[in-house]
A and B are shown apart, each in its own frame.
Chain A
Amino acid sequence: MSHTFTLDGKTIPFEDGQTIIQAAIAAGVFIPHLCYHPDFKPHGSCKLCTVKVNGRHTASCTMRAMAGMVVESETAELNAERRALTQMLFVEGNHFCPSCEQSGNCQLQATAYHLGMMSPHYDHFFPNRAVDASHPDVLLDFNRCILCSLCVRASRDVDGKNVFGLSGRGIGTHLIVNAKSGQLADTDFSLSDKAAQVCPVGVILKKRRGFAVPIGERTYDKAPISETANGN
Chain B
Amino acid sequence: MKKKLKVATTSLAGCFGCHMSFLDIDERLFTLLEHIEFDRSPLTDIKTCSPDCDIGLIEGGLCNAENIHVLREFRKNCKILIAMGACAINGGLPAQRNHLPLTTILEEVYHTSPGLANGMIPNDPELPLPLNQVHPIHEVVKIDYFMPGCPPSADAIWKVLTDLLAGKEPELGHGLMHYD
Interface residues of A (CB under 8 A from B): 90, 94-100, 103-104, 109, 112-113, 116, 118-121, 123-124, 126-129, 215, 221, 223-224
Report the separation of the CA atoms of residues A119 and B96 in the bound assembly, to the nearest whole angstrom. Answer: 18
User: Which of B83, B147, B179 has most chain A Cβ within 10 Å?
Assistant: B179
Within 8 Å by CB of A112, from B135, B139, B179, lies B179
The reply to whether B174 and A97 form a contact with Cβ atoms under 8 Å apart is no
B3: chain A residues at CB < 8 Å are none
Assuming A98-B92, A127-B99, is B179 touching A118 (CB within 8 A)? no
The reply to whether B180 and A119 form a contact with Cβ atoms under 8 Å apart is no
- Selected A-B contacts with CB under 8 Å, 9 pairs: A90-B90, A98-B179, A99-B93, A119-B83, A119-B90, A119-B136, A120-B89, A124-B135, A128-B99
The reply to whether B99 and A124 form a contact with Cβ atoms under 8 Å apart is no
The reply to whether B174 and A224 form a contact with Cβ atoms under 8 Å apart is yes
The reply to whether B98 and A96 form a contact with Cβ atoms under 8 Å apart is no
B174: chain A residues at CB < 8 Å are 113, 223-224
Mask of B102-140 contacts with A, CB within 8 angstroms, 1/0: 000000000000000000000000000000010110110
The reply to whether B86 and A97 form a contact with Cβ atoms under 8 Å apart is yes
The reply to whether B96 and A96 form a contact with Cβ atoms under 8 Å apart is yes
Report the separation of the CA atoms of residues A166 and B180 in the bound assembly, to the nearest whole angstrom. Answer: 29
B75 interface residue, CB < 8 Å from A?
A: no
The reply to whether B180 and A98 form a contact with Cβ atoms under 8 Å apart is yes
- The closest CB in chain A to the CB of B83 belongs to A119
The reply to whether A96 and B138 form a contact with Cβ atoms under 8 Å apart is no
B161 interface residue, CB < 8 Å from A?
A: no
Which applies to chain B's interface (DSSP): helix, strand, loop or mixed?
mixed
Report the separation of the CA atoms of residues A196 and B174 in the bound assembly, to the nearest whole angstrom. Answer: 29
Within 8 Å by CB of B180, from A97, A112, A129, A224, lies A97
The reply to whether A96 and B177 form a contact with Cβ atoms under 8 Å apart is no
> Given contacts A119-B90, A119-B146, A119-B148, could you give 20 more A-B pairs where the C-beta distance is less than 8 Å?
A94-B99, A95-B90, A96-B90, A97-B150, A98-B92, A98-B93, A98-B150, A99-B96, A104-B180, A112-B179, A113-B177, A118-B145, A124-B135, A124-B139, A126-B91, A126-B98, A128-B99, A221-B175, A223-B174, A224-B174
- The closest CB in chain A to the CB of B85 belongs to A98
Nearest Cβ distance between residue A99 and chain B, in whole angstroms? 7
The reply to whether B99 and A113 form a contact with Cβ atoms under 8 Å apart is no
Mask of B141-156 contacts with A, CB within 8 angstroms, 1/0: 0010111101000000
Nearest Cβ distance between residue A103 and chain B, in whole angstroms? 4
